[in-house]
Amino acid sequence: MSDQNFEPKIIAFLCNWCTYTGADLAGTSRLQYPPNVRIIRLMCSGAVDPIYVMKADLQGADGILIGGCHPGDCHYQEGNYKARRRVVAMKEILKNAGFDEDRIWLRWISASEGSRFAETIHEMTEAMREKGPNPLKEEWAV
Amino acid sequence: MNTFLPVENGDTLKSLQGFFKTLLESKTVEALLLPMRTPAGTISPALVVDPSALASADPLAPIMTVNTATLAGKLSVKKPRPKVGVVLRSCEARALIELTKMQQANLADLVIISIDCAGTVSVPDYVSMNGAGVNLWQELFQQAAASPENPANNIRQACKICEQPVYSPRPETDISIQLFGYNIHQQIGVTLPDGLAGNLGFQAAEPSLERAGTVEKLVALRIAARDEEFAAIRLRLEDKQNGSTSGLQSVFAACIRCHNCMNVCPICYCKTCVFKSHIFDHEPDQYVKWAHAKGAFRMPSDTMLFHLTRLNHMVLSCVGCGTCTEACPSELPVGTVFRAIGQKVQETFEYMPGRSVEEQLPLITFKADEWTEVGE
């Protein structure tokens, strides 16, 4: 289903302390990455309520990235560990409800990993391009 | 301690009422929350302090109008807490354990009095029996014991696939009323904490030898029925019918987002649910913008978001009481869908809702080294 003209839209929920700062570093370092990502900053990956992710998916986002600090580095000690459990539950629910859970990615990217952020966006954009558009994009009756 | 209540003249209900009376008169509890027959002939949970009112107590009526765990929460969540005994079916007791972990109930001054349940019928069915349901429980118990492979047609779907008809009491604190495995026209089994049994003057007695076998046989058949039901609903959840992009959308296509399932759910406790908030009220032109995005915009909106969010928020604690299915005006199989999905998520976290009050809710705890493949 790959269509080279299709530009995936990725919604990224990034934690203030690590991944958002990492994205900032990618920018100040003049690193190139695809413009397919729309970033929403939260204080912690542990603050990502599943409702935000479900809303983005049902509205037709092609990919949803949740970015947090590496395990052990959470500014609030354990927010990212709890985020991980929530993502595990979320994916299991989506899979069993007949949705595509592989559009949701959880990645740990620190404030110093600007290049890792750029690489992740490259990787995810290509993976979602390969998948093709989220079919929910066209569906009005959700 | 195991003991039993003698039943005189085959009147099982009267024997139970007598037991409850003893609990009030001995001041074991100040009040009892239990199903009562109302003057109009229906059944409703009520809080009883007057022993003479217990003549209307009917915990055997095969009907669950609401999941009483929510009410037990109201009676215990704040101080001062009266000492209250709550008579609960297994699914209600398990919901109460979950609410306790969510800090919406407190077991310190509650005495859980669990009672075996052979199944319940829907509220409209019960009402339409117009009093004929009075002795239905006996049939249900006899059928469950004698020919469990043929569940009574009119028991609720949630009950037909209920693999936990018996609650496992905590021996230090809970009272358990046992009907399976006993000749209920002659005696009822009871287990209660040793100290309380001593105070009330009960003598220890051997438990029914048939009980374990009866329950085991029933549970095995219920598990088989459950697995069959889950397999059928999973096929529907995988199948994307009518042009829907997901199975959940086709199964819940007729949802009108009335929130009934959420309102009756014992686990959905939030006082200010996001779906009842103004977050879903928008400027008129915003709706039109959304309509432009997809060509059309379903209203009321966000039915899928509602179900997916509710799944994320409560399915790990879903005890399978099926009150959601009963409350659905579109007659959607809400409870079966939630249980089938819930089973997978609960397995993932090796969590069984209602099993133990000590077991932590999976989403408030974590291990540093787990699911390393999910977060890379």
Q: Are residues B355 and B246 in the same domain?
A: yes
- Look at residue B187 and tell me if it is in a domain: yes
> In the Cβ-directed half-sphere of B111, how many Cα atoms lie within 13 Å?
24
A92 touches chain B (CB under 8 A): yes
User: Chain A partners of B244 at a C-beta cutoff of 8 Å?
Assistant: 139, 141
pLDDT digits (tens, 9 = 90+) for A52-96: 999 999 999 999 999 999 999 999 999 999 999 999 999 999 999
Question: What range defines the domain where residue B276 resides?
Answer: 238-364
Q: What is the pLDDT of residue B314?
A: 97
Q: Are residues B256 and B208 in the same domain?
A: no
3-state secondary structure of A75: coil
Say if residue B106 is exposed, middle or buried (CB neighbours under 10 Å; 0-12, 13-18, 19+): middle
User: Chain B partners of A87 at a C-beta cutoff of 8 Å?
Assistant: 374-375
Nearest CB among A54, A71, A80 relative to B305 is that of: A54
pLDDT tops 50 at residue B207: yes
3-state secondary structure of B114: strand
Q: Which CATH class is domain A10-133?
A: alpha beta
- CA–CA distance, B274 with B266 (Å, rounded to integer): 17
Query: pLDDT exceeding 90 applies to what percent of chain A?
Result: 92
Tell me which residue has tokens 């919901």.
B95
B95 in Cβ contact with B266 (< 8 Å): yes
> How far is B290 from chain A, CA to nearest CA, in Å?
9
List Cβ neighbours of B226 (8 Å cut-off, separation of 6 or more).
B161, B162, B163, B339
Helix (H) or strand (E) holding B6: strand B2-6
User: Chain B partners of A93 at a C-beta cutoff of 8 Å?
Assistant: 308, 311-312, 315, 341, 345
**Under an 8 A CB cutoff, do A89 and B295 touch?**
no
> How far is A30 from chain B, CA to nearest CA, in Å?
24
- CA–CA distance, B250 with B230 (Å, rounded to integer): 16
**Under an 8 A CB cutoff, do A142 and B313 touch?**
no
Average pLDDT, chain A: 95
A36-40, A104-108, B168-172: the lowest-pLDDT one: B168-172
User: Chain A partners of B316 at a C-beta cutoff of 8 Å?
Assistant: 89
- Look at residue B228 and tell me if it is in a domain: no
Q: How confident is the model at residue B246 (pLDDT cuts 50, 70, 90)?
A: confident
B348 in Cβ contact with B316 (< 8 Å): no
> How far is A31 from chain B, CA to nearest CA, in Å?
21
- Look at residue B314 and tell me if it is in a domain: yes
Give how many domains chain B has, as a whole number.
2
A66 phi and psi angles, rounded to 5 deg: -110, 120
**Under an 8 A CB cutoff, do A137 and B348 touch?**
no
Compute the average pLDDT of residues A122-126: 98
- Both tokens of A138, joined, read 């066209």
> How far is B164 from chain A, CA to nearest CA, in Å?
23
Q: Are residues B264 and B191 in the same domain?
A: no
Question: What global pTM score does this model have?
Answer: 0.95
**Under an 8 A CB cutoff, do A99 and B362 touch?**
no
Eight-class DSSP state of B207: P
A3-7, B91-95, B311-315: the lowest-pLDDT one: A3-7
> In the Cβ-directed half-sphere of B48, how many Cα atoms lie within 13 Å?
30
A123 touches chain B (CB under 8 A): no
- CA–CA distance, B67 with B267 (Å, rounded to integer): 10
Compute the average pLDDT of residues B334-353: 98
- Look at residue B226 and tell me if it is in a domain: no
Q: What is the pLDDT of residue B147?
A: 79
Question: Which residue among B149, B183, B218 closes a domain?
Answer: B218
Q: How confident is the model at residue B242 (pLDDT cuts 50, 70, 90)?
A: low
Q: Which site among B308, B314, B348 would you substitute to test the A interface, given the most A Cβ atoms closer than 10 Å to its Cβ?
A: B308
Nearest to A17 by CA among A109, A92, A94: A109
Q: Are residues B243 and B302 in the same domain?
A: yes
pLDDT tops 90 at residue B240: no
A76 in Cβ contact with A36 (< 8 Å): no
Q: Which site among A96, A103, A108, A124 would you substitute to test the B interface, given the most B Cβ atoms closer than 10 Å to its Cβ?
A: A96
Q: Are residues B170 and B22 in the same domain?
A: yes
How many residue contacts between A and B have a Cβ separation below 8 Å?
131
Q: Where are the beta strands (DSSP E) in chain A?
A: 10-15, 37-42, 63-68, 104-108
Provide the β-strand partners of residue A105. Answer: A65
Q: Are residues B80 and B166 in the same domain?
A: yes
- Look at residue B229 and tell me if it is in a domain: no
Average pLDDT, chain B: 93
Q: Are residues B181 and B242 in the same domain?
A: no
pLDDT digits (tens, 9 = 90+) for B112-164: 999 999 999 999 988 888 666 667 777 788 777 777 777 777 899 999 999 99
Nearest CB among B298, B364, B368 relative to A72 is that of: B368
- Look at residue B339 and tell me if it is in a domain: yes
The residues spanned by each domain of chain A are 10-133
**Under an 8 A CB cutoff, do B349 and A86 touch?**
no
- Look at residue B41 and tell me if it is in a domain: yes
Q: What is the pLDDT of residue A1?
A: 47
- Look at residue B270 and tell me if it is in a domain: yes
